[in-house]
Structure 1
Amino acid sequence: MATVVLLRHARSTANGSGVLAGRSAGVELEPGGQQQAETLVERFAPVPLAGIVSSPLTRCRQTVAPLAGARGLEPLIEADLSEVDYGAWTGRELKALVKEPLWNVVQQHPSAAVFPDGEGLAAVQARAVAAVRAHDARIGAAHGDTAVWLLCSHGDVIKAILADALGQHLDSFQRIVVDPASVSVVRYTDTRPFVLRINDNGGELASIVPARPEPGTAPGDATVGGSTGQPHNEHPDTNRPK
Structure 2
Amino acid sequence: MRLVLVRHGLPDRIDGAPEAAVRADPALTELGRRQAGRVVDALAGDPIDAVYASTMARARQTAEPLALARGLAVRTVHDLREYDADEQQYLPVHELARENPEQWRRMVEGHLPEHVDVPAFRARVVAALEEIVAAHPGRRTAVVFAHAGVINIYLGHLLGIEPALPFPLDYTGLTRVVARRDGVRKARTVNELAHVADLLEPATRA
- 1:212 is matched with none
Distance change in 2, residues 1:88/1:183 (3 Å): closer
- What are the superposed Cα offsets for residues 85-106 of structure 1, whole Å, 9 maximum, x if unpaired? 3656844784564457xx7766
Aligned residues: 183
Q: Are 2:119 and 1:126 equivalent residues in the alignment?
A: no
1:218 corresponding residue in structure 2: none
Tell me the residue number matched to 2:186. 194
CA 1:79–1:196 in 2, change beyond 3 Å: closer, same or farther?
same
Secondary structure, counterpart of 1:36 in structure 2:
helix
Task: Determine the structure 1 residue equivalent to 2:81.
Answer: 82
Contact 1:165–1:186, Cα closer than 8 Å, also in 2: no
**1:149 is the counterpart of 2:142:** yes
Q: Which residue pairs with 1:24 in the alignment?
A: 24
Distance in 1 between residues matched to 2:43 and 2:151, nearest whole Å: 19
Shift of 1:151: 0.5
Mapped to 2, the partners of 1:61 and 1:99 lie a distance apart of: 30
Q: Which residue pairs with 2:153 in the alignment? A: 160
Using the alignment, how far apart are the partners of 1:10 and 1:84 within structure 2?
17
Larger RCO of the pair (alpha carbons < 8 Å, separation 6+): 2
Supply the AA of the counterpart residue of 2:150: V
Task: Name stretches of at least 5 consecutive residues in structure 1 with no aligned partner.
Answer: 18-22, 204-242
**After superposition, where does 1:216-235 map in structure 2 within 5 Å?**
none
| Structure 2 CA distance for aligned equivalents of residues 82 and 146 of structure 1 | 26
Within 2, Cα distance between the matches of 1:44 and 1:109? Answer: 29
Q: Which AA in structure 1 matches 2:118?
A: L
Equivalent positions of 1:45-84 (< 5 A) are 45-84=44-83
Larger-gyration structure (1/2): 1
Q: Report the 3-state secondary structure (helix = DSSP H, G, I; strand = E; otherwise coil) of the residue aligned with 2:165.
A: helix
Label 1:114 to 1:108 Cα distance change in 2 as closer, same or farther (>3 A): same
TM-score normalized by structure 2?
Answer: 0.77
Tell me: CA distance 1:109–1:35, structure 2 relative to 1, closer, same or farther (3 Å).
closer
1:36 aligned to 2:28? no
The share of aligned pairs that are identical, in percent, is 26
Which has the larger strand fraction? 2
**Residue 108 of structure 1: how far off its partner (Å):** 5.3
Q: CA 1:99 to 1:40, structure 2 compared with 1: closer, same or farther past 3 Å?
A: closer
TM-score, normalization: structure 1?
Answer: 0.67
Q: Classify the secondary structure of the residue corresponding to 2:154.
A: helix
User: In the aligned structure 1, how far is the partner of 2:168 from the partner of 2:106?
Assistant: 18
Q: 1:39 to 1:88 in 2, by over 3 A?
A: closer
TM-superposition CA deviations, 1:116-136 (whole Å, max 9, x none): xxx412211111011001111
Q: What is the Cα deviation at residue 150 of structure 1? A: 0.5
Q: What is the distance in 2 between the residues matched to 1:11 and 1:106?
A: 18
Distance 2:87 2:81 in 1: 17
SS of 2:127 mapped into structure 1: helix
